[in-house]
Structure 1
Amino acid sequence: MNESAKKYCENCLSKQIIIHAETINKIIEQCLIEFPSTNTQQLKEYLHQYCQEKAFRNSRANIGEKSSATDEEINIAIERSAMCYPTIDKKQLHIELLKLYNVRQEEYKMLFDNERNTPWLLDFKANHQNSDWKFWNRYITYLQNSKNFAPKVINEIDRLTDDILDKLYDPTIHNVKGIDKKGLVVGQVQSGKTANYTGLICKAADAGFNLIIVLAGMHNNLRSQTQHRLDEDFLGFDTAHERAWQTNGTNRIGVGVLDNNNTAISITTIKSDFKKSLADSLGISFDIQTPLLLVVKKNTTVLKRLNTWLLSQTQEINGEKRITNKSLLIIDDEADNASINTKKPMKHQQQSMDGYEKSPDISIASVMLVTQPPHLPTSLFHLTKMIYSREILL
């Protein structure tokens, strides 16, 4: 259907306080004068759906952001919305609101070593205003308004990502050698793992992690799919057309439609995995504090290229190649047969690594995601060694 016709009708509807069927028909008549080739039936269905979605959001605003609501509260909210949108399907709206406010979610559990954990997030939050969490605030607004996530689900994502972030390390700590925190997240199939780690990326970027690498499967289609999801939910622009936020950009998608004040840079794109030429073509300094995102395959050639590029950004300090101006978060978004094997390498495996130049020393936090039940893979040991010199995933 003609997008210009849709926007024309939406603009007309936005000026109306009460939208009756007659109002919709009149707007369609006006639209057909401006866009005579528009399919009348499709446009009518679209506008009725538009009113249904507006009534849903109004009802949600009336009920409030809480984990559950009674039938009476839902019915009152629907009646109030119907005053402005008399054409809505009340029964369908009631079903959708019941789904939203009657979500059952099991409590997550965490196991961690107290000796290796120094909580820092509470103090960090005390010294920063809520408005400082720009990526996170934009993301939860998107989940609420565009994805229609239930309040309870958003609250659980908030709690879980806070707990994971607190188990990593304070990214604002500088000149500390060899920080290395690691973790494993286990979840059911289609349980929202991507939504959770995207929330973690948003919070991590707000807190100061400024180099984020996502290991996204072994195949191009899976990598592109993950890149597209992060384009929508974290970057806010389509990397098929641009890799840095443009103030006057026309490729805003996902969170970028809601808020265009956040900036992050993607070195990879939907079409292309990591290449040095791709990074160089951006024309930016590696020292920039703006978060840098890379979504890469678990492939030896790609990871070797990435390692070489990282080595080119190092400084030699006391005989060691180090990157001191970056806090690195690595997320392996699926435990598969190319995930990291943390068993101590056999002698012949260690010898096979002699051909690779040692990776730079850089503070690391990492999270590995696995679908339940967790089958820890016997995978290629040397994949991770090409990025960093420590085994970092459980």
Structure 2
Amino acid sequence: MTSLAPNNANIYERANEAALAPRWDTLWQAVPYVTTMKDNPPPAALPFLIYEFGLGMLTPYVPNLYELLDGRGIRWMRLRGTYEGVERGLAFLGITATVEAQWHGRAWWNSSQLRFPVLPPSDNPLLERIEGITRLSLPMRSDLRRGVHQYDVGPLIGNVSQLNESLLDRESGIALKPGGTLWSFGRTTEIEHTLTEAEGTAIGNWIDEPEDGGIPWIAMTYPWVTATFPWSASPAAQRRALMAAWFPARPIYARLKDAAGGVIGYRRCRACHAVSQVVSGRYTLAGQSWSPASAGQVAYIEAMTDFGDADGVTARSVALVAGVTLAAGVPPGRLWLKPNDVTAGTPFAETPISLPLRKTVRERFKFLVRF
């Protein structure tokens, strides 16, 4: 075969074809390559094949374009507009999530949220890719409203009441760009610590181990109102109850430090109680339940950072700080304190950690302090 021109080709078309005659050998050598190129395409051919399959919309979000050409891209295209399409789209990023549709009675009834069983390993650009792929995969009428993991506080719906359109009618999360998806992530770190004599003496909460004569009473440090334990309790139990009851009356902060030992910030603890172990309690730690008790012999202390408190730095240690003195002009009710906001304080229960702090993640620290 020496001509590809049709029988009705005119003289000009045949002359143009004849001008290419010296290239026929080269073109024939390319024919087998064209028929097998899709099996193992070179990088230079990727844009053309992706255009052929109509998958160009995914290229800003999928880092490895070869994954679009191994059959998964076509399967995603066929399922696009369904929740299974979302699942296949997120698989390009190695992410698993469940789509949860909004209640039909809400004004934004056509919105959905993603629930992640595992915390996504980073914020941007990963969250931008998740948002982009999900919006392309959802039905045309649906919007991606939110993504959650562990920390999920829904809105207090006040419709048909005086609370309608109030600040309570919101849900947890932070957007990384104006009008973007809300991300509401949480992560929990549990720490059990036995207070040492040096730590207890430093913060002013230490009673020596009782001997046969009982414990020495220090009315200035442990007022009589804290003596809520039974008189039949052993001196050792009384000691633990008194030391545990010392914490709730004082502001305690959680201090975060980086790898160089510099202070990242302080977060005021939101829970500080003397607790006892129960079957079903208010707090859980290490698979056990605890609830506040007047004669509790263990102290439960919890702090939780807020969205945006710290971002882009890895916390290498966390400690509790008692006796914090605020710098001049710092409001006493401020929850997150920068290093310069604190002029004095006594740390205890310092524990090494490795947590990359992120704007979208609320870090929850649970301490169980024993005596």
TM-score w.r.t. length of structure 2: 0.25
More helix by share: 1
TM-score normalised by length of structure 1? 0.24
Q: Which has the higher contact order (CA 8 A, sep 6+)?
A: 1
* Structure with the higher strand share, 1 or 2: 2
